[in-house]
Amino acid sequence: MCVTDPRADERKSRIFYGWYVVAVVFVIMTVSCGLGFYNLSVYLKAFVTHNGFSVEATSTATSIFFLAAGVSGLGVATLIDRFDARWCITGSTLLMAIAIAGAGYVTSLWQLHLFYAIFGVGYSGCALIPGTTIVARWFTRRRAQAIAYASTGLSLGGILFTPLSVQLIESLGLKGASPLMAIILIIGIIPITWLLLRSHPGDMGLTPDGDAPRLAADGSLLPPDGTDFRTAIRSRFFLLFTIAYVFAMMAQVGSLAHQFRLISLRTGSDHWGAIAVSVMAASSITGRLIGGSLLRYVPHKTYVLSLFTLQGIAFVFFATTQGTVALLCVSALFGSTVGNLQMMQPLVLAEAFGLKAYARILSLAQMVTTCANALGPILLGVLYERAGGYGTAYLAIACLSVLAFIALYFGGPVPTHRNKAEEPYGP
């Protein structure tokens, strides 16, 4: 028979510990993504302005971040399946901090490439893959809401840390600001990880959602439900869903890497560039929270298709808009798709294929899409340099959103292999 912690019922009668885990993952994503993913456009401009690199060279180097993060994600999945995820998060945070602390000392192209490679490896081990995997383990019936709340930290990081990073770099220069940002990263992640985060509900004698344990006929705990790895990755839905995300996230990441510079150039002020990124991030939070509620009533595939459509419209507006207020409005429209698209990939994969091989399935999808994401900043950088500015560049990535829509549309129905206790996938 399964032996559970006798205090489990008492803990459940108060607040299910999974919500504390959600809060911790929220904080981790806020700090890691704020100083990592959302700061890419700030680092790009800083390397161009303070270190003398060209936009094209820095955009190409930025893409190494995504290549490194995508490839190392496969190793992250293996580590968090075999060991306590806190070790992976801690080591990755330290690696990421080392890269940030050295940013101000980058003076040659090979050093720039090394910076982004180390930065990407560190980021992959302390952000989306471990965070969403841990939350998915703790919840079944309320997984959509839990992942929505936890991943809101992705966008909050942009609101909090993009303006702070810009101010620090303007005041102290990249060399003076980078050690401070590294210290903030370490303090913001490592202590709370070891104090409150737990990799599995079983570590505390609990089960997903705090429900009664699922037992086999002999009284032993049933293994996590879901599709095996080989079957999942060979399915039509996985292949076309991943291809759709290749196109959509390539466009999204390219825009995120250049948005700060685009707004700064068109408004003539870094201040407005930072505000635009914060507006985008705030809209991302709002959109994600609304999306977490809507997903109880809207089929997930329909929801993702609508996000691809809105993203393409936002890019067309970015290509043609000049006024400051209008650019802030477009940033808000774009932001409403950013958080939702980042949330939907791990959520749909968990819902479609279960938890049996979830970390491996997600890491493979993330590797493919993240490596493809590397082309986004390059595409925008090259088109900016050679096609007369950002207008043509943003029209090009609007076409990528159209391709994403087509790929997912022909992906077939979403698989329905999930626990009987889970909520229906759509209405």
pLDDT of amino acid 190: 95
Rounded distance between C-alpha atoms, residue 176 and residue 50, angstroms: 12
How many angstroms separate the CA atoms of 349 and 343, rounded?
A: 11
- pLDDT tier, 211 (very low <50, low <70, confident <90, very high otherwise): low
Contacts (Cβ under 8 Å, ≥6 apart) of 15: none
Q: Exposure pattern of 50-81 as b/e (b: 16+ CB <10 Å)? A: bbebebbbbbbbbbbbbbbbbbbbbebbebbe
- CA angle centred on 229, ends 153 and 1, rounded to 5°: 85
Mean pLDDT of the chain: 83
- How buried is 297 (Cβ within 10 angstroms: 0-12 exposed, 13-18 middle, 19+ buried)? exposed
Interval 168-193: pLDDT, tens? 988 898 889 999 999 999 999 999 99
CA dihedral (277, 302, 133, 353) in degrees, to 10, reads -160
The whole-angstrom separation of Cα 399 and Cα 403 is 6
Rounded Cα gap, residues 427 and 424, in angstroms: 7
The more confidently predicted of residues 416 and 69 is 69
At the topology level, CATH places domain 12-209+227-409 in Growth Hormone; Chain: A; (1.20.1250)
| Three-point CA angle 74, 79, 85, nearest 5° | 120
Picking from 177, 166, 165, the residue whose alpha carbon sits closest to that of residue 31 is 165
Best mean pLDDT range from 143-147, 216-220, 400-404: 400-404
Are 427 and 297 spatial neighbours (Cβ–Cβ below 8 Å)?
A: yes
Residue among 408, 161, 167, 231 at smallest CA distance from 302: 408
- Region 149-167: mean pLDDT is 83
Give exposure, 267-296, as e/b (b: 16+ Cβ within 10 Å): beebebbbbbbbbbbbbbbbbbbebbeebe
Instruction: Mean pLDDT check: name the lowest of 49-53, 127-131, 244-248, 334-338.
Output: 49-53
In the prediction, which pLDDT does 281 show?
79
Averaged pLDDT, 365-369 = 85
Sketch the domain layout of the chain as residue ranges: 12-209+227-409
CB burial class (10 A; 0-12, 13-18, 19+) of residue 170? middle
Mean pLDDT on 371-385: 79
Our measurement of the distance from residue 146's CA atom to the centroid of its chain's CA atoms, rounded to an integer in Å, reads 15
